[in-house]
């Protein structure tokens, strides 16, 4: 898969499209939440980018494996049978509950059998019973490019890390991440780790950004310099951040190399900080 062009829409003009997609992603997570055995790390709820179809899809469910998917550009749901689209629904003009009911029928479930993930979500009218809007198609296409690139880049970054978890999108924060665990045989809170991820935007930055977070958080007063335009974020959490605005400031032909260099530099710095 080739690197997707970025910057057709300003990164600060993606917020509404991102919030609608975030809420729509809860629908794609619902079959895993409702029909699969719960995993301690909540991995039954997570999602993955399908580069062939260009969609964000959930886990296979049912005796005849089917999975839900989110189509960014058209703001729609799809039900996939292997690599084939079996059915689809445009979300524009419909509520979250109507999307959930349609998905339940397409997966041959009773409506009550599907439930959304339970976690805090950002405020948006669709979360209060409003309908999805078809506005912002260009912004959704731009976000699809960011997600496609993020999955590819993070996979490349952790490819040689034997302890790295699969690269997945998590419905709670709508972020894409892999976790490199440095200590085995201890609990997640006690183990040293490095998170390598991407957010399409959140309360910290109202724009897409890549991040690398060492755990436990290091002393914010003694942080090494970083390459590739990454800076340290130290308010509320500590991690290396490459914002969309910073990445888009370099020529298009240099963006992939810049992002790759930035993440590699931050992972190396995190290892140094964690004594690994």
Task: Look at residue 8 in the predicted model and tell me its pLDDT.
Answer: 96
Centroid of chain to Cα 19: 13
Domain final residue pick, 98, 128, 158: 128
Same domain, residue pair 23 and 112: yes
- Asked if residue 63 has pLDDT above 90, the reply is no
| 8 Å CB contact between 144 and 73 | yes
Residue range 185-221, pLDDT digits in tens: 787 778 999 999 999 999 999 999 999 999 999 999 9
Domain housing 83: 11-128
Predicted confidence band of residue 94 (pLDDT cuts 50, 70, 90): very high
Task: Look at residue 1 in the predicted model and tell me its pLDDT.
Answer: 65
Which whole number is the average pLDDT over 25-35? Answer: 97
CA-closest candidate to residue 255, choices 3, 79, 37 = 3
Same domain, residue pair 169 and 269: yes
Q: Is residue 134 part of a domain?
A: no
Same domain, residue pair 172 and 124: no
Same domain, residue pair 124 and 159: no
Same domain, residue pair 115 and 173: no
Which whole number is the average pLDDT over 49-53? Answer: 95
Same domain, residue pair 198 and 260: yes
Task: Look at residue 185 in the predicted model and tell me its pLDDT.
Answer: 79
Same domain, residue pair 116 and 154: no
Same domain, residue pair 124 and 155: no
Q: Give start and end residues of each alpha helix (H) in 130-206.
A: 137-158
CA-closest candidate to residue 212, choices 255, 164, 143 = 164
């Amino acid at each position: 898969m080739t690197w997707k062009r970025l910057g057709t829409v300003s990164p600060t003009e993606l917020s509404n499209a991102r919030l609608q997609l975030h809420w729509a992603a809860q629908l794609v997570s619902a079959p895993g939440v409702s029909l699969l055995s719960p995993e301690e790390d909540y991995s039954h709820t997570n999602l993955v980018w399908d580069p062939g179809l260009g969609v964000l899809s959930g886990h296979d469910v049912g005796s005849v494996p089917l999975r839900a998917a989110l189509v960014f550009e058209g703001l729609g749901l799809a039900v996939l049978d292997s690599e084939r689209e079996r059915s689809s629904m445009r979300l524009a003009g419909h509520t979250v509950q109507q999307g959930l009911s349609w998905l339940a029928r397409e997966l041959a479930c009773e409506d009550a059998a599907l439930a959304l993930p339970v976690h805090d979500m950002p405020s948006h009218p669709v979360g209060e019973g409003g309908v999805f809007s078809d506005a912002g198609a260009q912004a959704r296409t731009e976000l699809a490019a960011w997600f496609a690139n993020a999955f590819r880049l993070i996979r490349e970054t952790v490819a040689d890390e034997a302890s790295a978890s699969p690269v997945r999108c998590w419905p709670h924060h709508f972020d894409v991440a892999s976790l490199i665990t440095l200590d085995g045989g201890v609990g997640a809170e006690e183990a040293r780790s490095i998170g390598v991820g991407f957010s399409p935007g959140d309360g910290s930055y109202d724009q897409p950004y890549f991040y690398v977070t060492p755990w436990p958080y290091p002393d914010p007063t003694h942080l090494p310099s970083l390459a590739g335009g990454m800076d340290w974020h130290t308010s509320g959490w500590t991690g290396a951040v490459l914002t969309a605005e910073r990445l888009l400031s370099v020529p298009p032909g240099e963006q992939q190399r810049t992002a790759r260099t930035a993440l590699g530099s931050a992972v190396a710095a995190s290892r140094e900080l964690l004594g690994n």
